[in-house]
Amino acid sequence: MFIRAYLRASTDEQDAGRARASLEQFASDHNKVIASVYLENASGATADRPELLRLLKDARKGDVLLVEMMAAIARKDYEQRRERQAQGIEKAKAAGKYQGRPVNIDLHKRVTELLGAGLGVRATARHANCSTTTVLRIRDRA
């Protein structure tokens, strides 16, 4: 799987590469690397877009096509959801209704046993079928 980025500006006076850093940051935030970048200055209304055609020719099944506008929309949507979630939690806390996620007593017991037996954090997470963050949280509460 390759990640291919397409950046376009409508006119020659505009810089098609202006958003390259933000796309690379977007990919990096998701632990990915852009394999190839396709830049062009061409109107979106015209079908004569050589770089877009080259991108479509190069793309293979399973490749990810990262388009500047779509990355910005995805990032904004993610940030809005996180903000709304935080607002909802704050409102519930203020009303005394927020309890958080219930503690999984069986998981806590299993993690404590595995750590007590001398397993490391990663091995414990693997055997308990949970994340290393969960293991660390349980370990630090004990």
Tens-place pLDDT, residues 17-43: 888 888 898 899 999 999 999 989 877
Q: Are residues 7 and 58 in the same domain?
A: yes
CB count in 10 Å sphere of residue 35? 14
99 in a structural domain: no
Does 15 score more than 90 pLDDT?
no
Domain shared by 7 and 64, yes or no: yes
Q: What is the reported pLDDT for 22?
A: 85
DSSP 58-77: H--TT-EEEEHHHHHHHHHH
Domain count along the chain: 2
Q: Does residue 12 form part of some domain?
A: yes
Residue 90 lies in a domain: no
CB atoms within 10 A of CB 47: 8
Q: Rounded to an integer, what distance in angstroms lies between the CA atom of residue 142 and that of residue 130?
A: 17
Using the 3D structure, point to which of 23, 56, 76 is the last residue of a domain: 76
Q: What percentage of the chain has pLDDT greater than the value 90?
A: 58
Cα separation, 95 vs 91, whole angstroms: 6
The pLDDT assigned to 71 comes to 59
Range of the domain at 122: 105-141
Write down the pLDDT at residue 92: 92
Higher pLDDT, 45 or 9: 9
Confidence (pTM): 0.48
The predicted structure's pLDDT at residue 118: 96
Average pLDDT of span 96-123: 94
Edge-to-edge strand ranges of the sheet holding 36-41: 36-41, 3-9, 64-67
Average pLDDT on 37-54 reads 84
Answer yes or no: do 16 and 57 share one domain: yes
Beta bridge partners of 37: 5
- Say which range, 5-14, 47-56, 60-69, 117-126, has the weakest mean pLDDT: 5-14
| Domain termination site, one of 76, 97, 127 | 76
Average pLDDT value for the chain? 89
